[in-house]
Amino acid sequence: MLLDEECKGCLYNSQLKKVEKEQGAGERFERFKRGVKALCQNPPAEYCAPLLMRDIDRVHREIFGGGIDYSKEKHLFNSLLLNMERELFAQTKASADPLCEAVKLAMAANYIDFARLADLDGGAVDIVLEAATRANPKKDVLQSLKNKLAKAKALLYLHDNCGEIVLDKVLIRIIKSLYPQISVTSVVRGAPIINDVTLADAEEVGLFEYANVIANGSDAPGTYLKEISEEALELLASGDVIIAKGLGNLETLYGEGYDIFYLFTCKCGHISARFGAAPWSAVITEENI
């Protein structure tokens, strides 16, 4: 999905706010600001938002000696939701439709996104849980997911953000309990970028207990086919069912020829318009090939 003007403004504002808060408004920050402005004004024609964010992070590395640091935010949200995981899993498992309830949690969890929302704090967890109660997955898409899981042997799960990954883990646990024949492979980012999940984050939340976890080999906050590893490409080609979380995966994969269930929160006007969903609503959609 090509870069939208809304995306440029959003990334420009959110990352400048983050960096100025941490580095101060000195000469290096002004260099960073000029570099980001240039990227936003003249991106390559084929760019999408995750590639612009990757390049913004690379400018930060050149000027400050490291990427934009979201480690505190990542640990905070992982910890908050890990403390709730046991109760959330028990409630979901005991519900009349565990898969539906787990999908609602996973969709709503995509709200935890520091590329879009620079000022998130622990209160975002309450917003996520409340949004999950209001989520209304399309019945035909949910039924299609159930039908395909019932026949599947391999599930490929493409993750997005920290904190969110704990509720992804709840969904994976529910899937494995309902469809025990399924083997799950989880794919995370190849390097730290914003608050996206890496191997270290997956280990922190205990995901390895329920899935084979691999890194995709790329530092883009998405699944950019031109840069991910051969292993990740092979998994995309061979997975019986693919679930992709978040806008980064949506923007890099939609229209690329894969049958994928996308779970995300509509944080952008152009995404809401594209999928006919209200702003800030939680969505599940299937791209049939």
According to the model, what pLDDT value does residue 268 have?
83
**What is the amino acid identity at position 175?**
I
Number of domains within the chain: 2
Neighbours of 69 (CB within 10 A): 14
The model's pLDDT over 188-223, given as tens digits with 9 standing for 90+, comes to: 999 999 999 999 999 999 999 999 999 999 999 999
Same domain, 117 and 168: yes
Same domain, 88 and 32: no
In the chain, where does DSSP find H-type helix?
5-23, 27-41, 49-64, 71-93, 98-109, 124-134, 139-151, 164-178, 199-204, 230-238, 246-253, 269-275
264's tokens: 């995300």
Burial of 224 (0-12, 13-18, 19+ CB in 10 A): buried
Question: Residue 170 in contact with residue 129, Cβ under 8 Å?
Answer: no
Among 145, 157, 144, 146, which residue's Cα sits nearest to residue 243?
A: 157
* CATH number, domain with residue 200: 3.40.50.10880
Same domain, 153 and 50: no
According to the model, what pLDDT value does residue 22 have?
87
Same domain, 105 and 238: yes
Torsion sign (Cα): 247, 250, 253, 254: negative
Per-residue pLDDT band at 267 (split at 50, 70, 90): confident
Per-residue pLDDT band at 76 (split at 50, 70, 90): very high
Q: Which residues share a beta bridge with 155? A: 184, 241
62's tokens: 């050149």
The model's pLDDT over 83-107, given as tens digits with 9 standing for 90+, comes to: 999 999 999 999 999 999 999 999 9
Question: pTM for the whole thing?
Answer: 0.95
Same domain, 49 and 175: no
Same domain, 50 and 102: no
Same domain, 170 and 241: yes
| pLDDT at residue 2 tops 80 | no
29's tokens: 């920050």
Per-residue pLDDT band at 10 (split at 50, 70, 90): confident
In this structure, what are the phi and psi dihedrals at residue 254, rounded to the nearest 5 degrees? -65, 130
The model's pLDDT over 112-141, given as tens digits with 9 standing for 90+, comes to: 887 777 778 889 899 999 999 999 999 999
According to the model, what pLDDT value does residue 46 have?
86
Same domain, 136 and 54: no
Whole domain around residue 56: which residue ranges?
5-64
According to the model, what pLDDT value does residue 5 have?
81
Same domain, 18 and 47: yes
Sheet holding 154-158, edge to edge: 212-215, 183-188, 154-158, 241-245, 260-265, 282-287
Same domain, 38 and 137: no
